[in-house]
Amino acid sequence: MNDLKTPEYMGLTLPSPAWIFGALLFGLIAYAAFRRGRKSERPVLTWSGVAMMIYPYATPQTWLLWAVGVAFCGWLYLKWD
């Protein structure tokens, strides 16, 4: 039995490397926004950071992860100052 096929047999699939890289990248950006929001007492940045840390768990498609992540980054860019 091939050990790599066992998760697929159970209905589990591994994410693509692009998805993993995107989740890590947007998670780091989200953590920076969360920290900045906490230090500057700006709830918009704090809650945007929290939402950005959570959303990868709800996006199974790689293109959707990147699209929402870029939209969040645009939102943070506008609210950062």
- DSSP, collapsed to helix, strand or coil, labels residue 76 as helix
Judge contact between 69 and 22, C-beta under 8 A: yes
Residue 2: predicted pLDDT = 61
pLDDT higher than 90, residue 64: yes
To 10 degrees, what angle do helices 43-54 and 62-79 make? 170
To 10 degrees, what angle do helices 43-54 and 17-39 make? 160
Q: What pTM was estimated for this model as a whole?
A: 0.80
- The Cα 9–Cα 25 span in angstroms is 30
Residue 13: predicted pLDDT = 76
